[in-house]
Amino acid sequence: MSETNNMSRKEFIARRVAGFFKKGDTVNLGVGIPTKCSNYVDEGVWIQAENGLMGVGEVATESQGVRKVESFCNAAGEEVIPVKGACTFDVCMSFAMMRSGRIDASVLGCLQVACNGDLANWAMPGKHPGMGGAMDIVSGVRTVIVATTHCAKDGSPKIVEKCSYPLTGLGVVDYIVTECCVMHIKDGKMYLKEIRDNISVDELRNITACDFIIAPDLKPMELGDYGPDKRP
């Protein structure tokens, strides 16, 4: 646990999400915690940015960054190091990939996610930053994974019975990964698949504003042997 104790919540979430993917997968990453996943995915996982890049690599550090006209950015506008074989294209091609089901998965952030898979991630009272590409993404990609802290900054649960914020999509979320657990949503029901060893099921229920089913194969939430530091 010493390694995970030294990580921030967001880093832990991003690294656990990275464990979903294997060589050959094509994955779209949204803004926020999702963009951090490119730091941890295995070699051979192809990360797509909706602004027109396939082959997103690690987010550039201050010493690596160049910020020239030809620099490459992810969906959040952060400079990234493209992997070998990366290619660029216009935004029309980018959205055609997502709308036609050619992207295996997308990792998105959320404001709220309901127990039946409804997603709200683009607007809340007083803040309407814009839909972006999220509505197209959730309706076109094969698997939608939400990467989010379990609660908002004010302590309110993000996993709820019914979203009160404007929706991005109905019943579109397949998995939720927080710093506390992994939830799987199937046939409109939410299953607890993994739980962090520093939290009990009762404690998890207290910070989750909806009911969930404990999966028969429930296991501890751990980080696998993936990420740049584990590559051969």
Q: What is the pLDDT of residues 166-209, one digit of tens each?
A: 999 999 999 999 999 999 999 999 999 999 999 999 999 999 99
Residue 47 is assigned to a structural domain of this protein: no
Catalytic residues, which ones? 50
Q: Give pLDDT, residue 181.
A: 98
Residue 85 is assigned to a structural domain of this protein: no
Number of domains forming the structure of the chain: 1
pLDDT at 4 over 70: no
pLDDT at 227 over 50: no
Q: Give pLDDT, residue 132.
A: 79
Q: Give pLDDT, residue 174.
A: 98
Residue 198 is assigned to a structural domain of this protein: yes
What rounded mean pLDDT belongs to the chain?
90
CATH of the domain at 123: 3.40.1080.10
Residue 59 is assigned to a structural domain of this protein: no
Burial class (CB in 10 A: 0-12, 13-18, 19+), 226: buried
Q: Give pLDDT, residue 6.
A: 57
* Helix H or strand E segment including 26: strand 26-29
Residue 216 is assigned to a structural domain of this protein: yes
Residue 87 is assigned to a structural domain of this protein: no
Q: How far apart are the C-alpha atoms of 144 and 223, rounded to whole Å?
A: 20
Residue 232 is assigned to a structural domain of this protein: no
48: tokens are: 């797509």
Q: How far apart are the C-alpha atoms of 36 and 31, rounded to whole Å?
A: 9
Q: Which residue segment(s) compose the domain that 175 sits in?
A: 2-33+92-222
Residue 48 is assigned to a structural domain of this protein: no
For residues 110-138, give the mean pLDDT: 90
Indicate the range of 72-76, 94-98, 176-180, 212-216 predicted with least confidence.
72-76
